[in-house]
Chains A and B, each alone.
Chain A
Amino acid sequence: MSLRIVVTVKYVPDATGDRHFAEDLTVDRDDVDGLLSELDEYAVEQALQIADEADDAEITVLTVGPEDAKDALRKALSMGADKAIHVEDDDLHGTDAIGTSLVLAKAIEKAGYDLVISGMASTDGTMGVLPALVAERLGVPQVTLLSEVSVADGVVKGRRDGDSASEQLEASLPAVVSVTDQSGEARYPSFKGIMAAKKKPVQSWDLEDLEIEADEVGLGGSWTAVDSATERPARTAGTIVKDEGEGGKQLAEFLVGQKFI
Chain B
Amino acid sequence: MAEVLVYVDHVDGAVRKPTLELLTLARRIGDPVAVALGAGAANTAATLAEHGAAKVLTDEAAEYADYLVVPKVDALQAAVEAVSPAAVLVPSSAEAKEIAARLALRIGSGVITDAVDVEAGDEGPVATQSVFAASYSTKTRVSKGTPVITVKPNSAPVEAAPAAGTVEALSVTFSAQATGTKVTGRTPRESTGRPELTEAAIVVSGGRGVNGSENFAIIEALADSLGAAVGASRAAVDAGWYPHTNQVGQTGKSVSPQLYIANGISGAIQHRAGMQTSKTIVAVNKDAEAPIFDLVDYGVVGDLFEIVPQLTEEIKTRKG
Contacts and interface: CB of A to CB of B under 8 A. Distances in A.
Asked if chains A and B come from one complex, the reply is yes
Contacts of A97: 101, 111, 113
Contacts of B250: 15, 38, 123, 126
B314 A171 contact: no
Interface string B262-277: 0000000110010000
A161 B196 CA distance: 14
A251 B300 contact: yes
Interface stretch (B22-30, B46-54, B129-137, B165-173): B129-137
A165 B187 contact: yes
Contacts of A226: 138-140
A205 interface: no
Given A98-B105, A163-B198, A251-B307, A142 B68 contact: yes
Contacts of B284: 247, 251
Interface in A197-252: 222-232, 235, 238-243, 245-252
B3 interface: no
B208 interface: no
By size class, the interface of chain A is 35 or more
B299 A240 contact: yes
Given A133-B105, A168-B186, A225-B143, A242 B136 contact: no
A39 B99 CA distance: 21
B163 interface: no
B221 interface: no
Given A98-B110, A143-B181, A252-B311, A229 B95 contact: no
If over half of B's interface residues share one DSSP class (helix, strand or loop), that class is named, otherwise mixed; here it is mixed
A230 B137 CA distance: 5
A240 B302 CA distance: 11
A182 B310 CA distance: 35
Interface stretch (B32-40, B80-88, B209-217, B251-259): B251-259
Contact of B297 (A129, A172, A227, A238): A238
A2 interface: no
Contacts of A228: 138-139
A98 B202 CA distance: 35
B315 A252 contact: yes
A60 interface: no
A191 interface: no
A243 B303 contact: yes
B188 interface: yes
Given A98-B104, A224-B140, A143 B282 contact: no
Interface stretch (A16-24, A67-75, A87-95): A16-24
B154 to A, nearest CB: 14
Interface string A132-149: 110111011111110000
Interface string B281-316: 110100010000111111111110011111111110
Contacts of B281: 238
A229 B132 CA distance: 11
A223 B145 contact: yes
B105 A247 contact: no
B36 to A, nearest CB: 16
A9 B251 CA distance: 16
Interface in A155-184: 157, 160-172, 175, 181-182
Contacts of B69: 132, 142, 144
Interface in B41-82: 68-70, 73
A1 interface: no
Contact of B183 (A167, A231, A256): A167
- Centre residue among A25, A126, A241, A245 by max chain B CB count within 10 A: A126
A169 B181 contact: yes
Nearest to A225: B143
Contacts of B93: 163
A227 B141 contact: yes
Contacts of B270: 15
26 contacts: A15-B250, A38-B250, A96-B110, A126-B114, A126-B254, A128-B94, A129-B101, A132-B101, A142-B180, A144-B68, A162-B95, A166-B187, A167-B68, A167-B186, A168-B183, A172-B180, A224-B112, A228-B139, A240-B288, A243-B307, A246-B310, A248-B311, A249-B310, A252-B315, A254-B297, A255-B282
Given A128-B113, A224-B143, 20 more contacts: A15-B270, A19-B132, A25-B138, A97-B113, A101-B105, A124-B132, A132-B102, A140-B180, A142-B70, A165-B189, A167-B187, A171-B181, A226-B140, A229-B138, A240-B299, A242-B288, A243-B307, A252-B314, A260-B202, A260-B258
Interface of B: 11, 68-70, 73, 93-95, 97-102, 104-106, 108-114, 126, 130-145, 176-177, 180-189, 196, 198, 202, 226, 244-245, 250-252, 254, 258-259, 269-270, 273, 280-282, 284, 288, 293-303, 306-315, 318-319
